[in-house]
Amino acid sequence: MHDNDFLKTLPEKQKEELFSTGRPSLENRKKQLLKLKTILLEHEAALIQALHSDLGKPAFESFSSEIAVLLNEIEHVCKHLAKWNRPVRSHHLKMGYVEAINRMRAPYGSVLIIGSWNYPVQLSLMPVIGAIAAGNRCVIKPSEHAPATAELLKDIINHAFPLEQLHVVTGDAQTASLLTSAPFDLIFFTGSTKTGKAVAEQAAKQLTPVILELGGKNPCIVDETGFSKTAIREIVWGKFLNAGQTCIAPDTLFVHQSVYEKALEEISASISAFYGDQPQASGDFGRICTDEHFQKIVEFIEQGTVRHGGAHDRSDRFIAPTVITDIKPGSPILEEEIFGPVLPVIPYTDLQTLLYSGRLQTDSLTGYIFTKNKNHIQLFKEHMRSPTISVNQVIHHAASPHISFGGVGRSGYGAYHGKAGFLAFSYEKTDYQTHHYLRFQGKFPPYSDTNRKALKKLRKWLL
């Protein structure tokens, strides 16, 4: 644990180094990113072991949802960075002068990145990729709720990078509070809405910009044309990936009445096919991260009729993949983000009525619909405020470096991944020059009605 003075002065140390050496060259930034890639490859086995220790993650999920997406992101950013970073120059002819505009991207300086426990490698390092690409220095605060991963990240990152460039700080909520009050130039936070509000409030005291990646009750709809075994398998996979602890997991499933019972049967069949009749013994199903979160999910299960699963073991932090129905309106599970392996399945009879019933969180991180009906897709798109709408698929969009990832409203603000990450961690800096061959003397006091009338007629050319 670092002392308080060190935490408070850490961003200043990074900014001093950054501004004394100048903005890192493209070549230097690519070298840093490739070093990060090498670290991921060299420590793959250790990272997978740490993730299993913290969350019971199977090796396949650890590699596919944490390490592989980071490798893909680094390669994509390195390939396109020169193009994104290229200044944009333009010239505009005015009456009496030519204006020359040169716009470029500049790094904020020292960036604080606060990671989350559910994907503790990916969500700690994905923002780092965009921050480095833009030319920043970074401090990473991994979640204390994934301690094995946090300690491993600290060891491998701090060994490979100088403190002034990239540094990992471990600790609890008190450490995070000290960091958010330090003079960083930008804060990137991934986590709960409650904590996100606290981070934003603390940052506002210093006018520090913040990017918040929060959660949301991502609705998933299967209409009368969208039901199939393939569709249900996709939904079940996306819901119970990482034991349901995924911010873009289908939160609640709404199924058209005509296919409701068939969907419930197929959901049970898919769960059994994936995890067997004894999922606690399966090596392919994870665990709940904390005892507090375990208790919250168990209480959710009690708010409906269990149609599949329901078993749980506190000593192992295990909760079986569970499906519940017959949930009373106003129950907490219908209002709060579930973030666990419990799938409420609710029938509906008319899509438009469902959309305007107030039962869907319209500003969730994403919205899912399974359908062959183009009109239903359009209705859903128009109704949802979510930055991403996924049709006949779940989860996969978040792994693409071609798609920005972020929230709106209750699911946060700001976006990253790919070019969006480069833009998020930089700001536009403009050089403006004018080359005069005539000057409009009427802009200087004392003003006259004649010059004002001339300005009204020629404003596009004079200004």
Strand-pair partners of 107:
426
CATH class of 219-399: alpha beta
pLDDT in tens, 97-156: 888 999 999 999 999 999 999 999 999 999 999 999 999 999 999 999 999 999 999 999
Which amino acid, 166?
A: L
Annotated catalytic sites, by residue?
A: 213, 247
Q: Residue 461's pLDDT band (boundaries 50, 70, 90)?
A: confident
pLDDT in tens, 57-73: 999 999 999 999 999 99
Q: Residue 2's pLDDT band (boundaries 50, 70, 90)?
A: low
Q: Residue 1's pLDDT band (boundaries 50, 70, 90)?
A: very low
For the entire predicted model, the pTM comes to 0.94
More confident residue, 190 or 439: 190
Match 């300005």 to its residue by tokens.
455
State the number of CA atoms in the 13 A half-sphere of 166 facing the CB: 24
- If you average pLDDT over residues 246-251, what whole number do you get? 97
Mean pLDDT across the chain, nearest whole number?
95
Taking a C-beta distance cutoff of 8 angstroms, is the pair 111, 136 a contact? yes
Q: Cα separation of 425 and 427, whole Å? A: 7
Q: Residue 443's pLDDT band (boundaries 50, 70, 90)?
A: confident
Query: Domain 4-214+414-427, what fold?
Result: Aldehyde Dehydrogenase; Chain A, domain 1 (3.40.605)
The residues spanned by each domain of the chain are: 4-214+414-427, 219-399
Q: Cα separation of 38 and 27, whole Å? A: 16
Going from the C-alpha of 150 to that of each of 28, 67, 147, 153, the distances in angstroms are: 26, 15, 5, 5
Q: What does the chain come to in residues?
A: 463
